[in-house]
Amino acid sequence: MKRVKVDLTIHPDVARTILTGFIRSEISRAGFERGVVGLSGGLDSAVALALAVDALGAANVLAVRMPHRDSSPDSLEHAQLLIDQFGVKSTTIDISPIVDACQLHDAKMSRGRRASIMARTRMILLYDQSRVFRGLVLGTSNKSEMLLGYTTLWGDMAAAIHPLGDLYKTQVRQLARALQVPAAIVDKAPSADFWAGQTDEGQLGFTYERVDQLLFLLVDRRFLPSECVAVGFEKSFVDKVTELIRSNQFKRMMPPIAKLSNRTIGYDFLYLRDWGT
């Protein structure tokens, strides 16, 4: 089979129009006017913030910075750049003491466990700020992360809406440039920032540039894994990625309800969230 050209270029204005309309529609129909974004200083939350400002106005957006003592010092500074540039309200909460308290009962907690606690601590604080600010939480997860399961269930995946969930990481980057996100943020290595020197690509073992091409073929263009190999992707890489997609399906769903009655939520009780609005 011939090598196929995988072009992930998006028209940023079309994406921006749809996503700002989506944010405005879904927040207002839920009865709110405001949005809350956990601002890490990284690319995804920068784009979510910029879109929220576009959709709702700067006065209706709260940026929440939630550093941990292990976070990179750049993160806070980059988040501040965005707060200043977009003129949004902001608050900063140090999560270190909360994470420490969770570790009191188990001194030998692994780095991975602590990372999950950090992600879920941020979720608790974001939802609390959402009550204070009377705004909905905008998710910052992108399609690459969701497909690969590079997310924390009930942590960074917890949100009222996911504006970036159908954009691959490399597409989020294109949109970021169009939204005037500073180059320091667009160009830095993506990181969950759970410990010093951590990068997504180091942990995953491949670059977003490369995996996005494969994901696009597998998911969007419905290529079989064997067809991806035939167009030039290494078999071991294709196998690893297809298994990540499959094994992380649970993170992309509500937990299944055991069916007993004639009408069960999720199976035959079917309504959109926008029901009646």
Partner 1 sequence: MQLRLALAQIATALGDVSANLEKHIQLIKAARSEKADLILFPELSLTGYVLQDIVPTVASAADEDNREFRVLLRESRDLDIVVGFVDEDSRHRFYIASAYLSGGKILHVHRKVYLPTYGLFDEGRFFAPGDSVRSFATRFGSAGILICEDFWHASPPYLLWLDGADLMLFASASPGRGLNERDRLESAWWVESVNQSYANLFTSFVAHSNRVGFEDGLNFWGGSTVFDPGGQRLAHGPYFQEGLTFADLDLNQTRRTRARLPLLRDERPGLVQKELERILSK
Residues 6+ apart with CB under 8 A from 266: 254, 256, 257
Residues that bind partner 1 (rule: CB under 8 A) add up to a total of 26
Helix (H) / strand (E) containing 241: helix 235-247
Q: Does 264 bind partner 1 (CB under 8 A)?
A: no
Tokens of 78: 């980059």
**Residue 173: CB minimum distance to partner 1, A:** 15
Name the 3-class secondary structure at 112.
helix
Write down the least CB distance from residue 213 to partner 1, Å.
14
Member of 128, 239, 243, 274 binding partner 1 (CB under 8 A): 274
CB nearer partner 1, residue 9 or residue 262: 9
- The SS3 assignment for 181 reads coil
Amino acid at 99: V
Separation CA 64–CA 123 (nearest Å): 11
Among the listed residues 137, 126, 204, 212, the one whose alpha carbon sits nearest the alpha carbon of residue 173: 212
Which of 3, 5, 9, 261 touches partner 1 (CB under 8 A)? 9
Which of 1, 17, 219, 249 lies at the binding interface for partner 1 (CB under 8 A)? Answer: 17
Measuring CA to CA, how many Å separate 253 from each of 147, 163, 212? 12, 17, 22
Stretch that binds partner 1, among 17-25, 119-127, 193-201, 239-247 (CB under 8 A): 17-25
Least distance (Å) between residue 9 CB and partner 1? 4
The answer to whether 5 contacts partner 1 (rule: CB under 8 A) is: no
Contacts of 104-113 spanning 24+ positions with Cβ under 8 A: 111/194, 111/195
With contacts defined by CB under 8 A, name the span among 5-13, 71-79, 207-215, 233-241 that binds partner 1: 5-13
The residue within the footprint of partner 1, chosen from 105, 197, 255, 275 (CB under 8 A), is 275
- Among residue numbers 131 through 170, which ones bind partner 1 (CB under 8 A)? 162, 165-166
The footprint of partner 1 (CB under 8 A) covers 7, 9-11, 13-15, 17-18, 21-22, 25-26, 162, 165-166, 268-277
